């Protein structure tokens, strides 16, 4: 994921759309913070004798990882639309535009 994020940063910075990249980066950081908070909370629960359900933990982490991938996919689609904004033969991902 870091390599993918780095490529997107370079693409969007070259097109003067670093704000899109930064917004996405801040969103992903917020999700990482949520994961860390959840990890601490479940650790405290486990120390207090609460049984942690492995299936629920797996579902939590896999869902958040999928959300992060969807966010990056959307940013890539946006970058593609920005790159091909003036190409009339390009099939846009977002009909309402990207600017």
State pLDDT tens for residues 2-38.
Answer: 788 888 888 888 878 889 889 999 999 999 999 999 9
Residue 95 lies in a domain: no
Residue 48 lies in a domain: yes
How many domains does the structure of the chain reveal? Answer: 1
CA distance 75 to 80: 9
Residue 89 lies in a domain: no
> Which residues, at least 6 apart from 31, have a Cβ–Cβ distance to it below 8 Å?
64, 67, 68
Residue 51 lies in a domain: yes
Residue 10 lies in a domain: yes
Q: What angle do CA 89, 95, 99 make, to 5 degrees?
A: 95
pTM of this structure: 0.82
Residue 88 lies in a domain: no
CA distance 52 to 38: 12
């Amino acid at each position: 994921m870091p390599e993918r994020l780095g490529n997107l940063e370079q693409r969007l910075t070259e097109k003067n759309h670093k704000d899109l990249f930064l917004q996405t980066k801040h969103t992903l950081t917020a999700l990482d913070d949520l994961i860390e908070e959840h990890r601490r909370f479940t650790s405290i629960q486990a120390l207090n004798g609460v049984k942690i359900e492995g299936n629920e933990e797996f579902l939590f982490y896999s869902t958040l990882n999928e959300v992060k991938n969807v966010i990056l996919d959307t940013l890539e689609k946006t970058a593609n639309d920005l790159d091909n904004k003036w190409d009339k033969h390009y099939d846009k991902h977002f009909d309402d535009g990207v600017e």
